[in-house]
């Protein structure tokens, strides 16, 4: 609406007063084109389109960006890629604060440059067959921790890595505590890593990790077979490359060779398979699981996945249902993911603790001395050095563990990396992570991505 105001000016008899624009549309038309809508923009009220109408908000895009950021930063699709803030997903979570069971002698965090605090999250995969459809291999357990992965997120949110601890690793289990405060006596001889979960659940595994590594944990997550299978199904399968037919009549595992997407019981038996595939060792089964997780993350992050609300919601429902954790809720997980949205899939590395065969436990392995250097990198919030990047996997690798064509040169520090972020190369050579690895001459090697052909063969991946 406008007003034509008639008045007589003393210096211009008979003249008409100027037309005064009073509507917002009129005022915009009289502004220079480049300034139109600037006040609305400064107020954050949205973008102006033809006719003065405002562009409707698009919350869907924001939600997808949050999902993408969280999955990339948390890097472990088996329970950590959960960000949509819906009440039903919060109610799915089994939140258990275990601080009272971890003792008064927990390690302290070391001071780092920041700007935020580094995050150490322990992911445990329970091999209980109690869930519906989980008894696929005919085995029964007392609820051991089949998979343990430490996920480290840097304080500057520029890099992340997951460190797998093979379940057959020989350790001296420390004293643990039950919910009522009573003690679970420490082992008097070496025990397998996953025995702690059997004795005292996730609290005992957390305490064992902190006591033997000196690394304080911020949060934990426990995922079971059922959740894992449901997440794969929600993605409509995950691509793998199986070099040879797997026929294990004892455990009822039968998988045909080839590259294809698998889901349901077939996916569960694949990550569980240990015999008749690769070299049959637990550390190399761990590598195969890492390759599967990487392929799973890639599938979850594809444009097709994000464009399919049914798959997206199904994936998040599967990831949260029965998830045991001490995260306060979905919002806290989302906040963590948003802080690390700049980390790409190729900068999320997966490695296994350096090991050698051991007779300390039956069919077991033990850590080599290099493991202390690895724990020190975590404590000091530093990037993985070349010795640990050898045969490392990343979330951006191909399903067979080989580097993708878009993969970069590993976790080599960029030009903007400060000295405090970079760990100096070890002088003791490069542990191969396999028995019989010989020390090098101390010459730093370029960071590697993907498994070597020998590594893929040992892990039961295509070469």
* Mean pLDDT within 322-348: 76
Task: Report the candidate in 67, 65, 70, 77 with the shortest Cα–Cα distance to residue 298.
Answer: 77
Between CA 98 and CA 203, with CA 222 as vertex, the angle to 5 degrees is 30
CB atoms within 10 A of CB 219: 19
CB atoms within 10 A of CB 109: 13
Q: pLDDT band for position 406 (50/70/90)?
A: low
Say yes or no to pLDDT of 213 above 80. yes
- pLDDT for position 38: 44
Q: Which of 5-9, 308-312, 358-362, 446-450 shows the highest mean pLDDT?
A: 358-362
Q: Beta-strand (E) ranges in 127-213?
A: 145-153, 160-164, 170-171, 176-177, 183-184, 191-192
- pLDDT for position 315: 78
Say yes or no to pLDDT of 220 above 70. yes
What is d(CA 383, CA 376) in angstroms, rounded to the nearest whole number? 11
Q: Which domains does the chain have, with CATH numbers?
A: 2-57 (no CATH), 62-405+434-459 (3.40.630.190)
- Would you give the end-to-end CA distance of the chain in angstroms? 74
For 13, what's the count of Cα atoms within 13 Å in the CB-facing half-sphere? 0
Q: pLDDT band for position 341 (50/70/90)?
A: low
Lowest mean pLDDT among 49-53, 245-249, 271-275: 49-53
- pLDDT for position 265: 86
Q: Beta-strand (E) ranges in 94-186?
A: 94-95, 119-126, 145-153, 160-164, 170-171, 176-177, 183-184
Q: Which of 35-39, 128-132, 166-170, 285-289 shows the highest mean pLDDT?
A: 166-170
* Mean pLDDT within 111-138: 72
Q: pLDDT band for position 42 (50/70/90)?
A: very low
- pLDDT for position 41: 43
In this prediction the pTM is: 0.71
* Mean pLDDT within 184-190: 96
Q: pLDDT band for position 314 (50/70/90)?
A: confident
């Amino acid at each position: 609406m406008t007003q034509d105001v008639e008045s007589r000016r003393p210096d211009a008899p008979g003249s008409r007063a100027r037309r005064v624009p009073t509507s917002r549309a009129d005022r915009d038309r009289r502004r220079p084109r480049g300034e139109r809508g600037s006040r609305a923009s400064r107020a954050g009220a949205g973008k102006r389109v033809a006719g003065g109408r405002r562009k409707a908000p698009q919350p869907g895009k924001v939600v997808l960006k949050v999902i993408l950021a969280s999955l990339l930063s948390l890097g472990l699709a088996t329970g950590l890629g959960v960000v949509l803030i819906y009440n039903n997903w919060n109610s799915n979570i089994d939140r258990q604060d275990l601080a009272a069971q971890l003792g008064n002698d927990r390690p302290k965090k070391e001071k780092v440059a920041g700007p935020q605090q580094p995050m150490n999250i322990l992911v445990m995969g329970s091999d209980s067959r109690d869930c519906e459809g989980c008894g696929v291999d005919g085995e029964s357990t007392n609820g051991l921790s089949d998979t343990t992965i430490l996920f480290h997120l840097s304080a500057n949110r520029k890099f992340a890595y997951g460190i797998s601890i093979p379940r057959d690793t020989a350790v001296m289990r420390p004293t643990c505590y039950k919910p009522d405060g009573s003690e679970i006596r420490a082992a008097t001889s070496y025990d397998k890593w996953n025995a702690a979960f059997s004795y005292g659940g996730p609290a005992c595994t957390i305490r064992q990790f902190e006591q033997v590594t000196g690394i304080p944990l911020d949060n934990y997550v426990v995922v079971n077979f059922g959740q894992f299978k449901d997440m794969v199904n929600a993605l409509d399968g995950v691509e793998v490359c199986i070099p040879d037919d797997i026929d294990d009549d004892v455990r009822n595992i039968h998988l045909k060779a080839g590259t294809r997407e698998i889901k349901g019981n077939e996916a569960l038996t694949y990550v569980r398979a240990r015999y008749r595939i690769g070299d049959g060792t637990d550390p190399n089964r761990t590598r195969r699981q890492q390759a599967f997780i990487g392929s799973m993350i890639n599938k979850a992050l594809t444009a097709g996945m994000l464009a399919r609300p049914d798959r997206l919601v199904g994936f998040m429902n599967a990831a949260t249902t029965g998830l045991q954790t001490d995260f306060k809720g979905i919002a806290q997980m989302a906040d963590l993911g948003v802080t690390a949205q700049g980390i790409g899939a190729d900068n999320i590395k997966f490695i296994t603790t350096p090991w050698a065969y051991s007779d300390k436990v039956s069919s077991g392995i033990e850590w080599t001395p290099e493991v202390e250097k690895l724990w020190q990198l975590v404590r000091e919030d530093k990037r993985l050095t070349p010795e640990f990047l050898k045969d490392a996997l990343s979330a951006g690798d191909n399903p067979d563990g080989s580097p993708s064509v878009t993969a970069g040169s590993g976790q080599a520090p960029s030009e903007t990396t400060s000295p405090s972020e970079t760990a100096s190369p070890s002088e003791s050579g490069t542990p191969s992570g396999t028995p019989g690895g010989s020390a090098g001459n101390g010459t730093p090697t370029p960071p590697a991505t993907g498994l070597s052909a020998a590594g893929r063969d040992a892990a039961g991946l295509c070469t």
